Chain A
């Protein structure tokens, strides 16, 4: 049993954290996160050069990591800085391309941006329920359907699309320029896209892709949970700092027991969230990855909302402003629940298992 980071992962964590703190502070972040293209190309480049993407893939796929703990280290650092770069899309694409045996040097170097298109308006989370259809067309395939709220889709050059082929969910590579892609920004920063496919040509990567897609989602969940842990730590530190410095009735408000006990409850839930994320990361390549990913996403959904809502309440009016950095952390922590399966979805998945 060992709960410390290996030296390599600690170095990666330190270098990403330092880069984000120095080069991507909140004012830079907000400028990038809320204006087209809803990320900062220079910092995408910078993070790629530090190895943030190579860390997401195993050596045999051209990376230098790829385990759940590698994913965790990268995303916890991103979450701490509320980084809006489309790294989640890259991670999920890398998992899929590893499964498909595709070369991914262009992805891992950051040269080509990918997005993974699974969710639809009537099937946000359930891979088996996708309605997009693929048919054979000449040498290749043609895809028809609509993919909705595709994170990173606003800047992706390539889309990895889940579509039904002969009754099974298959995976296709689609050139973004061949589809109708409409990008937009998100309330919690960063960007996504609506992708409309109308007999759009696609290259078949995996004919029966259910397992590969489930793996990509599990990895994505470990990433989102780790991102949330990083963001919770940051927002909690801000909240404690505020409790120490904000004075009312002549004393720092942290002297009031009503707030102290609630602050302790936040700490308890953050530690529980960290624990379940560690567990999900440890199990990512094991036979029960889905079960532990569901546990983690459920708990993160609850803890993230608690930390966000309590942080806002304890800060009072200042946390209701756009100007205060904490408000952006709170938004991310609430909205992260809706990505890759929310609290209730994963609870029912647990019950079914």
Chain B
């Protein structure tokens, strides 16, 4: 048993910390601190800064232009990124499609798409969920029919995150309707400029535009855009799910939230005293802090196991469940700390008139937006089903 990082890992942490201190522009970290939506320009600039250093594709091996980090190094990078208030790297091309192409894509696909993901030339989005296929993803209906050298796609995708910035989408489509649902799905790459595609924004609970619905009407996609064999899409989807699971606990972000809650509770007053001195509120904070401290170790234990075994195991669903609940509790406390000052709609009042501290003006919006985390990426109930199947052997 040894919870400490090696000297090399410590040195790596110092290197990452120094990199962010020297290279992360102040306007970017302050936008992250304020917690509103980040513009495409901010994300593009941030990605370019990391790419220049060779640190953008944190999960990629060296041969494809990644840094070749171990799970522990990746973890250290993520912690330091949070500490510096860097944005989250947009995952769709880098964390999701990239590894899929490395595993299942043709040489041509790898050569064409991977460099464009790194350079930012392509912004990918994800066409998975449909109005009738959420947790039961295998029931998806968007149809792709082979017609000569093309597939013709008809149907609708939804919850397409940041699709408004994207120029390409990777989709799960039904290529065989007459077999068991999982057996008739294919994974295909689509250029969003293709005629017949329409993207519409979905306004979210807090008023933000983060997700979209995408309509496909007789969209003709070259057959060479298929990844892997026809009807092996479900295998790819499951592979992608395990890659989606890196940093699933969001420990770094929750540590950030905890510090924000504490700072806020020292700043705002309740009954004439700093809120942090209210024992009821302080107890709620302390309780989450303890759970988060345990989560840090649970996360490291699973990292250690992933490092030993080469891949994260099904028990990482524990991280998803508990990690999202902790994050949501912290967002809840950050909202409650403000009292009525949390309610004014962000952006309607100038900073000098707003009753909440500037960095906290979005706290209610963040709380509402954060409810998504226990729903997406396999809802927490689906995670419990996965754990039941893989860990409990009932």
Task: Tell me the residues in window 180-222 of chain A with beta carbons closer than 8 Å to chain B beta carbons.
Answer: none
Given the known interface contacts A268-B322, A272-B322, the answer about A263 and B2 at a Cβ–Cβ threshold of 8 Å is no
Is B353 an interface residue when CB atoms closer than 8 A count as contact?
no
Is B5 an interface residue when CB atoms closer than 8 A count as contact?
yes
Stretch at the interface among A91-99, A117-125, A331-339, A345-353: A345-353
Given the known interface contacts A263-B388, A299-B290, A351-B282, the answer about A240 and B394 at a Cβ–Cβ threshold of 8 Å is yes
- Report whether B1 and A351 are in contact in the complex, using a CB–CB cutoff of 8 Å: no
Cβ of B258: which chain A residues have Cβ within 8 Å of it? none
Task: Tell me the residues in window 43-73 of chain B with beta carbons closer than 8 Å to chain A beta carbons.
Answer: 72
Contact of A1 (CB < 8 Å), options: B5, B282, B387, B394: B5
- Report whether A347 and B392 are in contact in the complex, using a CB–CB cutoff of 8 Å: no
By CB atoms of chain A within 10 A, which of B1, B9, B72 has the most? B1
Q: How far is the CA of A271 from the CA of B317 in the complex (A)?
A: 12
Is B3 an interface residue when CB atoms closer than 8 A count as contact?
yes
Task: Tell me the residues in window 1-41 of chain B with beta carbons closer than 8 Å to chain A beta carbons.
Answer: 1-6, 9
By CB atoms of chain B within 10 A, which of A2, A3, A299 has the most? A3
Q: Which residue of B lies closest to A73 (CB)?
A: B1
Q: Which residue of A lies closest to B322 (CB)?
A: A268
Given the known interface contacts A279-B3, A282-B1, the answer about A260 and B291 at a Cβ–Cβ threshold of 8 Å is no
Is A252 an interface residue when CB atoms closer than 8 A count as contact?
yes
Q: How far is the CA of A351 from the CA of B305 in the complex (A)?
A: 33
- Report whether A264 and B387 are in contact in the complex, using a CB–CB cutoff of 8 Å: yes
Type the 1/0 row for A239-251, where 1 means its CB is closer than 8 Å to any CB of B.
Answer: 0100110000000
Chain A nearest CB from B343 CB (Å) reads: 28
By CB atoms of chain B within 10 A, which of A9, A254, A351 has the most? A351
Q: Which residue of B lies closest to A303 (CB)?
A: B294
Contact of B1 (CB < 8 Å), options: A3, A255, A257, A347: A3
Is A273 an interface residue when CB atoms closer than 8 A count as contact?
yes
Q: How far is the CA of A298 from the CA of B9 in the complex (A)?
A: 31
Is A275 an interface residue when CB atoms closer than 8 A count as contact?
yes
Cβ of A320: which chain B residues have Cβ within 8 Å of it? none
Contact of A275 (CB < 8 Å), options: B4, B283, B295, B393: B295
Q: Which residue of B lies closest to A344 (CB)?
A: B283
Cβ of A272: which chain B residues have Cβ within 8 Å of it? 291, 294-295, 298, 322
Given the known interface contacts A244-B394, A271-B318, the answer about A1 and B72 at a Cβ–Cβ threshold of 8 Å is yes
- Report whether B392 and A299 are in contact in the complex, using a CB–CB cutoff of 8 Å: no
Task: Tell me the residues in window 223-278 of chain A with beta carbons closer than 8 Å to chain B beta carbons.
Answer: 240, 243-244, 252, 254-255, 257, 260-261, 263-265, 267-268, 271-273, 275-276, 278
Main SS at interface, chain B: helix
- Report whether A279 and B293 are in contact in the complex, using a CB–CB cutoff of 8 Å: yes
- Report whether B394 and A267 are in contact in the complex, using a CB–CB cutoff of 8 Å: no
Q: How far is the CA of A261 from the CA of B317 in the complex (A)?
A: 12
- Report whether B287 and A347 are in contact in the complex, using a CB–CB cutoff of 8 Å: yes
Given the known interface contacts A264-B387, A351-B282, the answer about A2 and B304 at a Cβ–Cβ threshold of 8 Å is yes
Cβ of B387: which chain A residues have Cβ within 8 Å of it? 264, 267
Cβ of A273: which chain B residues have Cβ within 8 Å of it? 294
Is B259 an interface residue when CB atoms closer than 8 A count as contact?
no
- Report whether A276 and B290 are in contact in the complex, using a CB–CB cutoff of 8 Å: yes
- Report whether A3 and B322 are in contact in the complex, using a CB–CB cutoff of 8 Å: no
- Report whether A351 and B291 are in contact in the complex, using a CB–CB cutoff of 8 Å: no
Is B321 an interface residue when CB atoms closer than 8 A count as contact?
yes
Is B232 an interface residue when CB atoms closer than 8 A count as contact?
no
- Report whether A261 and B381 are in contact in the complex, using a CB–CB cutoff of 8 Å: yes
Cβ of B347: which chain A residues have Cβ within 8 Å of it? none
Q: How far is the CA of A271 from the CA of B394 in the complex (A)?
A: 19
Q: How far is the CA of A2 from the CA of B287 in the complex (A)?
A: 27
- Report whether B297 and A275 are in contact in the complex, using a CB–CB cutoff of 8 Å: yes
- Report whether A1 and B293 are in contact in the complex, using a CB–CB cutoff of 8 Å: no
Is B279 an interface residue when CB atoms closer than 8 A count as contact?
yes
Chain B nearest CB from A6 CB (Å) reads: 8
- Report whether B1 and A279 are in contact in the complex, using a CB–CB cutoff of 8 Å: no
- Report whether B391 and A260 are in contact in the complex, using a CB–CB cutoff of 8 Å: no
- Report whether A298 and B290 are in contact in the complex, using a CB–CB cutoff of 8 Å: yes
Cβ of A298: which chain B residues have Cβ within 8 Å of it? 287, 290
Q: How far is the CA of A104 from the CA of B298 in the complex (A)?
A: 37
Chain A nearest CB from B266 CB (Å) reads: 13
Q: How far is the CA of A351 from the CA of B289 in the complex (A)?
A: 10
Cβ of B286: which chain A residues have Cβ within 8 Å of it? 347, 350-351
Is B267 an interface residue when CB atoms closer than 8 A count as contact?
no
Is B165 an interface residue when CB atoms closer than 8 A count as contact?
no
Chain A nearest CB from B305 CB (Å) reads: 8
Is A112 an interface residue when CB atoms closer than 8 A count as contact?
no
Q: How far is the CA of A257 from the CA of B294 in the complex (A)?
A: 27
Cβ of B72: which chain A residues have Cβ within 8 Å of it? 1
Cβ of A268: which chain B residues have Cβ within 8 Å of it? 318, 321-322
Given the known interface contacts A1-B2, A279-B3, A282-B1, the answer about A264 and B290 at a Cβ–Cβ threshold of 8 Å is no
- Report whether B384 and A275 are in contact in the complex, using a CB–CB cutoff of 8 Å: no
Chain A nearest CB from B323 CB (Å) reads: 10
Chain A nearest CB from B390 CB (Å) reads: 10
Is A69 an interface residue when CB atoms closer than 8 A count as contact?
yes
Type the 1/0 row for A265-307, where 1 means its CB is closer than 8 Å to any CB of B.
Answer: 1011001110110110110000000001001001100000000
Is A318 an interface residue when CB atoms closer than 8 A count as contact?
no
Cβ of B381: which chain A residues have Cβ within 8 Å of it? 261
Cβ of A275: which chain B residues have Cβ within 8 Å of it? 294-298, 301
Q: How far is the CA of A255 from the CA of B385 in the complex (A)?
A: 11
- Report whether B294 and A279 are in contact in the complex, using a CB–CB cutoff of 8 Å: yes
Cβ of B303: which chain A residues have Cβ within 8 Å of it? 1
Cβ of A282: which chain B residues have Cβ within 8 Å of it? 1, 3
Q: Which residue of A lies closest to B388 (CB)?
A: A260
Q: How far is the CA of A279 from the CA of B292 in the complex (A)?
A: 12
Is A11 an interface residue when CB atoms closer than 8 A count as contact?
no
Q: How far is the CA of A9 from the CA of B1 in the complex (A)?
A: 10
Cβ of B5: which chain A residues have Cβ within 8 Å of it? 1
- Report whether B294 and A1 are in contact in the complex, using a CB–CB cutoff of 8 Å: no
Q: How far is the CA of A240 from the CA of B392 in the complex (A)?
A: 7
Chain A nearest CB from B270 CB (Å) reads: 15
Q: Which residue of A lies closest to B299 (CB)?
A: A275
Task: Tell me the residues in window 65-89 of chain A with beta carbons closer than 8 Å to chain B beta carbons.
Answer: 69
- Report whether B294 and A252 are in contact in the complex, using a CB–CB cutoff of 8 Å: no
Cβ of B393: which chain A residues have Cβ within 8 Å of it? 240, 244
Q: Given A9-B1, A351-B279, 19 more contacts at CB 8 Å?
A: A1-B4, A1-B300, A69-B1, A257-B385, A260-B384, A260-B388, A260-B392, A264-B321, A264-B388, A264-B392, A267-B387, A272-B295, A275-B297, A276-B290, A276-B293, A278-B301, A295-B290, A347-B286, A348-B283
8 A-B residue pairs with Cβ-Cβ distance under 8 Å, sorted by A, are A6-B1, A263-B394, A264-B321, A265-B384, A272-B298, A279-B294, A279-B296, A281-B1
**Among all A-B residue pairs, the 9 with the closest Cβ atoms:** A254-B394, A275-B297, A276-B294, A272-B294, A260-B388, A275-B298, A264-B384, A350-B286, A261-B384
